[in-house]
Amino acid sequence: MPSPATTPASGQTPQLFHRAARIEDSFHRWREGRGRKRGLVTTIVPYAGYGTTTWVRVLCRVVLAQPTEAPSQRAEKVRGWRSFFSVPVEDVDVTVVIGGVEHRVRPTRGGIVDVRLDAQLELGWQEVSLGAADTESVTAPVFVLDPEAGFGIISDIDDTVMVTALPRPFLAAWNTFVLDEHARTPVAGMAVLYERLTRVEPTPPVIYLSTGAWNVAPTLTRFLGRNLYPAGPLLLTDWGPTHDRWFRSGQEHKRSSLSRLADEFPDMKWLLIGDDGQHDEELYGEFAAAHPENVAGIAIRQLSNGEAVLAGGRSTAAERERTSNVRWFYGQNGAELASELSAAGLLADQLAQP
């Protein structure tokens, strides 16, 4: 039996959109009409989600694509610069099947589905089915957390696991619109560190929290897998204007995501991993002050002098570290961070203790 129709924005009151958002929405509707006349079809791009044995957070994006390939192949081609020019679809119902139970949801602006649904699933990696009226179903992975794990990892991506020099506009644009995952460089030793952190039972969740756009999620997922980082959900943001501003606030996205995870998993202690080139120290410090019971430690990758210049300087967190009630760890790469965490007894099974 299908569940009652629901939307990701359920319970929220309508908001007056910024002029830029209204213009963008009108443009997308015009593009969608033209695209359907040219034979483009609805395509669901699945993203990894997470949850517990009683609920899951389902993530995907709905766009238009050429009908010549199977749904999974169409989704695979929505990548790189094409992903930023794909036509989002908002006016279709997406059917989510979890354990044989159907739920109907509708995308928000930008074609994004981000919804929490009741579910009865086993622990570990599971799959949910996503479909729409005029397209075949695809599957999306979801990681069902073990409530006894007691420990997880929240990791930034840019300049933490992947060298991007993101604050430099031209290089950031090149990385985003031109290069694929083969041309991106992993930060030395970080994949080994993450493997050591997750080499315990039950397997800790790894959640990648970034200010990047959902458009690049497939590329980032392939990069992480190719460089042997543990699989985990990506928490990204939409591209373009919001209801009240020209561009989305990356800091607010990270701040609200951290707060949500604390609410969803009140007994979980997180190791927060980021870098000192943007706002990770500030945001992690705020989170630790507000939720000290949810922080196992904060590990900060220090940028090289050259990377710091590109990033517009290095953050100063000495005072924050001295006054913090959680432990901070610093290193220029994964090996240095591993050494610091190991000296504090925060690796492998030691870190997995509730």
So what's the pLDDT on residue 71?
Answer: 59
Residues 89-94: contacts with CB under 8 Å, at least 24 apart: 89/32, 89/42, 89/62, 89/63, 89/64, 90/28, 90/62, 91/32, 92/42, 92/62, 92/132, 92/133, 92/134, 93/5, 93/132, 93/133, 94/44, 94/60, 94/62, 94/130, 94/131, 94/132
If we measure between CA atoms, which residue out of 255, 154, 278, 156 comes closest to residue 205?
Answer: 154
pLDDT band for 329, please (50, 70, 90 cuts): very high
pLDDT exceeds cutoff 80 at 139: yes
Those residues with Cβ within 8 angstroms of residue 96's Cβ, 6 or more apart along the chain or in another chain: 58, 102, 103, 104, 105, 113, 115, 117, 128, 129, 130
pLDDT exceeds cutoff 50 at 2: no
Least confident of 220-229, 277-286, 288-297: 277-286
Ramachandran angles phi, psi of 276, nearest 5°: -100, 20
pLDDT band for 67, please (50, 70, 90 cuts): confident
pLDDT band for 295, please (50, 70, 90 cuts): very high
Amino acid at 240: G
Fold of 151-351: Rossmann fold (3.40.50)
Mean pLDDT of all residues in 211-226: 88
Identify the CATH class of 19-144: mainly beta
Least confident of 148-152, 195-199, 281-285, 295-299: 148-152
So what's the pLDDT on residue 59?
Answer: 97
pLDDT band for 203, please (50, 70, 90 cuts): confident
- Domain ranges across the chain: 19-144, 151-351
CA dihedral 152, 158, 159, 163 (to 10 degrees): 120
pLDDT exceeds cutoff 50 at 241: no
**Winning range, highest mean pLDDT, from 14-18, 43-47, 209-213, 322-326:** 43-47
pLDDT exceeds cutoff 70 at 317: no
Mean pLDDT of all residues in 74-83: 54
H helices of the chain, where? 19-37, 71-77, 80-85, 169-177, 190-197, 217-226, 250-264, 280-290, 305-310, 318-323, 334-343, 348-351
Mean pLDDT of the chain: 79
Mean pLDDT of all residues in 238-257: 67
